[in-house]
Structure 1
Amino acid sequence: MREETDLATPLRGPEHDNDPSETPGFVEAVVGAIDAGDVAALRAIVSDLHETDVARLLEALPAADRPQLIELLGSDFDFTALTELDETVRVQILEALSTQTVVDGMRDLDSDDAVYILEDLDDADKQEILSNLSIPERAALQRSLDYPEESAGRRMQTEFIALPPYWTVGQTLDYIGETEGLPETFFEVFVVDATYRLNGSVPLDRLLRTKRGTKLGDVVTPDRHVVNATDDQEDVARVFERYNLISAPVVDEAGRLVGVLTVDDIVDVIQEEAEEDLKALGGVAGDEELSDSFWYIARSRFSWLLLNLIAANIASFVIALFENELQRMVALAVLMPIVASQGGNAATQTMTVAVRALATRELRPSNARRVIARELLVGLFNGVVFAVIMAVVVFARFGVADLGFVIALAMVINLAAAALGGILIPLTLDRLKVDPAVASGPFVTTITDVVGFFAFLGIASLWF
């Protein structure tokens, strides 16, 4: 009996703030309740879990048990948990559930969460679910789905409070306190005209401190950070970050208020965009997830590996040009990878900083020249320092002073080239409207390898 109590009520708090699905026996207890069809036991186990913990539980369950858990819980299952799942797992669950179960679950969701769940389904499944919703619900979701992917219109919540400027503060407070169906969380009341064009907003703290007889139009503040529904979500996230916003109104092309973005949506955007950039720098598709299939991952990584193979062949061609020198002095073959490797690492450092600065708009045409000059000086400085180190190491190892000088000079040249390539290539790709996070790697690798090998072997062939 003691064990059942512990499983049903996972420990919480800072010292036990871990994933309940990792608790010994927890997943097994849930699977046992699903197999037995014991709804009461499932409710006792799952009811107190946060939506994120429910998502982790779903991922830990066998694939066949995931939709069964949701069907058994019925209205007790919070569909918000599906927004915390990997896309692959979420789609698999939705396809396995009955249409009516999905429709019933989505009715209790905020519009932004409902759109997030729907947008990954194929058109047939999407339309089947929408057709079973009421006309107002369907219209609100379809309007958001009609906006481009990764736009503010896809992320916005269409539930908000908008009132005319002639309403008083007292009317507004009574309306908020007595009206059902208002958003669960909101930070301001928007003031609109008869055509729903936005006049501004009244923050809740100001509303509560203002006399009841005051009209909203007298205390409204024009919104300086209005978001267009077609704005890219990454640009919107940057505005939230720069101005420390909690929420922002979203308007259509006619200036009519159509939704609101809140900081919790933006945190998700920032995380997604950061993950995409990090994966792209490693040659991984931005939408690759742990739950993806073997074939999908293999296909998505193939193109990157192919580009690197081409780059490696170009570098090997440069090496072949100096075949005679390599045969004459074996030490060149031993030292050659050091020059290329050091240049590759230096270029990766510069490229990472440049790509991130471009993504956050910190690197702009106005400061590009200064940053390029700085990176070149850094490359030259590090090149000189490592050149001295390698010259000493080579002389101590091979006893040939000239060879130390050759590798030192090649090191300076390659690290300078690495610094320039690491920043100029991302800048060029960005100017050409190509994502520098995705495409920079192969080009930078090719430059550092080719320049490193050519400089080292070329100087050696001329010197000796």
Structure 2
Amino acid sequence: MTDQSSQSQAETQKADAALVRDIADAVAERDIRWLARTLRRMHPADAADALETLPYDEFEEAVELLGEDLPSEILIELRDSYREGAVEMLPDQAVAQALDELDSDDATTILEDLEEDRRERILEDLAPVDRAELERSLAYEEETAGRLMQTEFVAVPEFWSVGETIDHARGLGAELPETFYEIYVVDPAHRLLGIVPLAALLRQPRDVKLEDIMHDPTTTLTPDLDQEDVAFQFQKYSLASAPVTDHANRLVGMITVDDMVDVIQEEHSEDLLALSNVSSADASDTVFETVKARVPWLAVNLLTAFIASAIISVFEGAIEQLVALAILMPVVVALGGNAGSQGLAVAVRAIATRELDGASARRTILREVLAALINGLIIGAGVGLITVFWFNDLRLGIVIAAAMLATFLWAGLSGILVPLTLKRLGADPAVASSVFVLTLTDVMAFFTFLGLASLVLL
């Protein structure tokens, strides 16, 4: 079975590579008809992947060649940098056509990629109702529920029956959302009264009233809610979709799980990269853009490295008298830094998943301290024994064991307290924590090891 799976995967990869070569050839030969027909036959996500596999200059050429023939579903599936490049290459008429075909949340994403003057120019060509909806979505802050929500949804009064609701949805035609999972029940002021899942609707006879089968919303979102909080609500309650209401409880939109998958992936990637103090690098990024994104953090790390060096210089005389200290210093620092990084990774994840709220924060701090104590005893004893056998010096083994224990305890505390403190101060723990944790750990490692060695051995 495994051999068959591997063979099937290899054949799929060969087919994909052949398809990309065919697309590249079609771009080179300017075969618009074949290119457009092939992309339309593919799933939009697969077509986007195929286009992104091309060298970036060939990708731009393909977009320019297709113009209005580039399916809007493919456009929205492209990664951010590729989508922005594609929108820049497309003529205004093609962008306006894509806005007309896409759901309002996807159309808002396209509009975000446009320069303000071009955005206004394209919006003027849209129908007044469509333009008003898109402008309202753009009025919300970026990375909020208002930007994520789509304004196409099915809302009906509570006195309607199941049959009337189904007939109404069928009659909406093109106004019916492409993907939806719930019917929203509203009063005459458009305030949300309840929700009827499609599965529950289809199980009931046509004459059953909606008020008899609707239930209260599991959660309601407001347009100004941060997208991370929206994603947390979807994860916590296992939602497929959720209504968005204003502060008067009037229904203004809905958010579906497909948008949340993108947000969760985006936030996860940002936090993962931030822990290493880097930003993502797409194929469209230039060397200058990549360097510009990374140099500031390298400069910060340069400063912290000199702080650690300053600590070492205080004990310069001790190192000159006992060369073994210089040999063993990297061991203490490396293990301490690794312990700090482990605690930091756990803490940042716990903060992101709301596991460090209230009393759970105290339990987590206690757990990390106890874990650091036990790890410090185990690793410290091991390093101490190795040192005794290596240098035939019992006191040096005791010194490095004690320094290792102190460093592990400090690393465990720093790994949990630094991100919690930064969160309380309103900073992003994923972005700023690693520099502080590693610096504090290095300083403690050098200070305890060299300080104890000076006191005990010299």
CA distance in 1, matches of 2:13, 2:217: 43
5+ residue gaps, structure 2: 1-5
Matches within 5 A, 1:433-444: 433-444=426-437
Deviations 1:366-390 (A, max 9, x none): 1222211111111111111111111
Superposed displacement of residue 193, structure 1: 1.6
Superposed displacement of residue 25, structure 1: 3.7
Q: What TM-score results when the alignment is normalised by the length of structure 1?
A: 0.92
Check 1:58–1:18 CA distance in 2 against 1; reply closer, same or farther (3 A cut). Answer: farther
- Is 1:396 equivalent to 2:375 in the alignment? no
CA distance in 2, matches of 1:331, 1:449: 18
| Paired position in structure 2 for 1:123 | 116
* Structure 1 residue corresponding to 2:139, chosen from 146, 151, 155: 146
8 Å CA contact retained: 1:20, 1:57:
no
Deviations 1:219-265 (A, max 9, x none): 32221311111111111111111111111101122221111111111
Matches within 5 A, 1:159-178: 159-178=152-171
Letter of the aligned partner of 1:131 in structure 2?
E
Letter of the aligned partner of 1:343 in structure 2?
G
- Is 1:262 equivalent to 2:256 in the alignment? yes
- Is 1:276 equivalent to 2:270 in the alignment? yes
| Paired position in structure 2 for 1:431 | 424
RMSD (Å), alpha carbons:
2.2
| Paired position in structure 1 for 2:240 | 246
Number of equivalenced pairs: 452
Check 1:425–1:54 CA distance in 2 against 1; reply closer, same or farther (3 A cut). Answer: same
Letter of the aligned partner of 1:23 in structure 2?
D
After TM superposition, the structure 1 stretch with the greater mean CA deviation from structure 2, 18-27 or 54-63, is 18-27
| Paired position in structure 2 for 1:77 | 70
| Paired position in structure 1 for 2:212 | 218
Check 1:173–1:14 CA distance in 2 against 1; reply closer, same or farther (3 A cut). Answer: farther
Identity level (%) = 46
| Paired position in structure 2 for 1:415 | 408
- Is 1:194 equivalent to 2:178 in the alignment? no
8 Å CA contact retained: 1:80, 1:113:
no
Matches within 5 A, 1:355-366: 355-366=348-359
Superposed displacement of residue 37, structure 1: 3.4
Deviations 1:171-212 (A, max 9, x none): 111122233121122212111122211111211122222232
Check 1:306–1:89 CA distance in 2 against 1; reply closer, same or farther (3 A cut). Answer: same
5+ residue gaps, structure 1: 1-12
Check 1:132–1:67 CA distance in 2 against 1; reply closer, same or farther (3 A cut). Answer: farther
Letter of the aligned partner of 1:184 in structure 2?
E
CA distance in 2, matches of 1:346, 1:403: 22
8 Å CA contact retained: 2:155, 2:183:
yes
| Paired position in structure 2 for 1:53 | 46
Q: What TM-score results when the alignment is normalised by the length of structure 2?
A: 0.93
CA distance in 2, matches of 1:238, 1:19: 36
Superposed displacement of residue 20, structure 1: 7.0
| Paired position in structure 2 for 1:322 | 315
Superposed displacement of residue 424, structure 1: 0.8
- Is 1:30 equivalent to 2:23 in the alignment? yes
CA distance in 2, matches of 1:167, 1:76: 42
Superposed displacement of residue 122, structure 1: 2.5
Superposed displacement of residue 135, structure 1: 1.0
8 Å CA contact retained: 1:21, 1:56:
no
* Structure 1 residue corresponding to 2:221, chosen from 218, 227, 235: 227
CA distance in 1, matches of 2:367, 2:27: 62
CA distance in 1, matches of 2:341, 2:195: 46
Check 1:361–1:14 CA distance in 2 against 1; reply closer, same or farther (3 A cut). Answer: farther
Letter of the aligned partner of 1:193 in structure 2?
D
Check 1:14–1:216 CA distance in 2 against 1; reply closer, same or farther (3 A cut). Answer: farther
Superposed displacement of residue 116, structure 1: 1.6
Check 1:113–1:420 CA distance in 2 against 1; reply closer, same or farther (3 A cut). Answer: same
Superposed displacement of residue 57, structure 1: 2.0
| Paired position in structure 2 for 1:104 | 97
- Structure 2 SS opposite 1:227: coil
CA distance in 2, matches of 1:395, 1:306: 39
Check 1:429–1:414 CA distance in 2 against 1; reply closer, same or farther (3 A cut). Answer: same
* Structure 1 residue corresponding to 2:333, chosen from 323, 326, 340: 340
CA distance in 2, matches of 1:320, 1:393: 26
Runs of 4+ in 1 over 6 A off after TM superposition: 17-22
Check 1:102–1:14 CA distance in 2 against 1; reply closer, same or farther (3 A cut). Answer: farther
8 Å CA contact retained: 2:245, 2:252:
yes
